[in-house]
């Protein structure tokens, strides 16, 4: 379990680093350009990894449900939005707001999928504490 926790922490570091680099690129060009470069480089890297793993590079789209392709569309807009707002809000606020959005949407999806069960009250309290904390830290009167 500790191994997976460490991977998740490294993933968080990668996300913030990626946002920062894309934000710098967006500042010098624009957010869509930064997203395009991000996805081209990512595609090339994954292609090389697949080649070295000797995996088939034949893409068969026949068994994939259409809804699955929306993940790529959402991912592209995620990078564009982050590249656009990061230079204006800074790394910390952008990250906190993105995580808050993830927590809120995760809570809503759990409610829709009825996987919350008896912990609904605790999850709602946690959600409210996160939102209050973000507002207190970044929107308080100086």
Instruction: Tell me what the mean pLDDT of segment 126-142 comes to.
Output: 75
C-beta contacts of 31-38 below 8 A and 24+ residues apart? 31/80, 31/81, 31/83, 31/84, 32/80, 34/79, 34/80, 34/83, 35/76, 35/79, 35/80, 35/83, 38/79, 38/83
pLDDT digits (tens, 9 = 90+) for 92-129: 888 888 888 888 888 787 777 765 555 777 778 878 88
| Percent of the chain clearing pLDDT 90 (strictly above) | 13
Confidence class of residue 42 from pLDDT cuts 50, 70 and 90?
very high
Joined together, the tokens standing for residue 137 give 């830290």
Contact between residue 38 and residue 79 where contact means Cβ atoms under 8 Å apart: yes
Joined together, the tokens standing for residue 136 give 């207190």
Contact between residue 38 and residue 22 where contact means Cβ atoms under 8 Å apart: yes
């Amino acid at each position: 379990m500790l191994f997976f926790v460490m991977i998740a922490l490294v993933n968080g570091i990668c996300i913030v680093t990626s946002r920062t680099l894309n934000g710098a690129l967006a500042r010098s060009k624009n957010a869509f350009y930064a997203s395009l470069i991000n996805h081209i480089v990512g595609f090339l890297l994954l292609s090389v990894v697949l080649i070295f793993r000797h995996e088939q590079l034949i893409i068969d789209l026949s068994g994939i449900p259409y809804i699955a392709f929306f993940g790529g569309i959402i991912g592209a807009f995620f990078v564009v939005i982050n590249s656009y707002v990061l230079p204006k809000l800074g790394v910390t606020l952008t990250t906190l707001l993105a995580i808050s959005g993830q927590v809120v949407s995760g809570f809503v999806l759990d409610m829709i999928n009825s996987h919350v069960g008896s912990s609904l009250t605790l999850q709602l309290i946690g959600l409210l504490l996160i939102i209050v904390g973000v507002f207190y830290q970044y929107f308080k009167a100086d």
